Amino acid sequence: MPHDNDPSTSTSPLDTVPDSTSPAYASRRPITRAFDGFASAATRWAGSPIAFGTSVLIIVVWGLSGPLFRYSDAWQLIINTGTTIVTFLMVFLIQQSQNKDSVAIHLKLNELIAAYRSANNQLIGIEDASEEDLRRIAHAYLELANKAGTTKADRETLDKSLSEAKAAPVDDARQ
């Protein structure tokens, strides 16, 4: 018997967005919501002048302590281990923030496309297309740009090119 939370039985349009990057994902899961809040705060702090100043201060203190520890292997290991751990953890925090920002930007662009009457609504959700599809669609736009016209005929040509590009089969040998 399928569960209400089972994504395979859901028909929500939000299900087309991968869970880990969906803004709704964090609001439904307390651990993820906490991580999202922590990641946002940590990346804001990490990009601040205070964080930079603290990092410089740590490096200066470490460097000045070198003679005291006779530049030993342990002295070098302290900075190497510290920077490795911080870098490793920051990769995940920054990626979480980037995922969230990316979803927000796509939603804003989708809203602009949907609100503009003469925009091609086929482009909403284009970020989920394959690379090959994106290349075909980009080629259609480049052709339109080369014609440098904004007539109704050009618009119809673009709409037809986009439809053909999306409908064309992807060559599996190239993937």
At what angle are helices 49-64 and 30-46 packed, to 10 degrees?
A: 70
The predicted model scores a pTM of 0.57
At what angle are helices 49-64 and 73-115 packed, to 10 degrees?
A: 170
pLDDT value, residue 59:
96
Query: How confident is the prediction for the chain on average, in pLDDT?
Result: 79
Q: What residues contact 152, with CB distance under 8 A and at least 6 apart?
A: none
Are 20 and 14 within 8 A, CB to CB? no
Q: What is the mean pLDDT of residues 75-85?
A: 96
pLDDT value, residue 91:
95
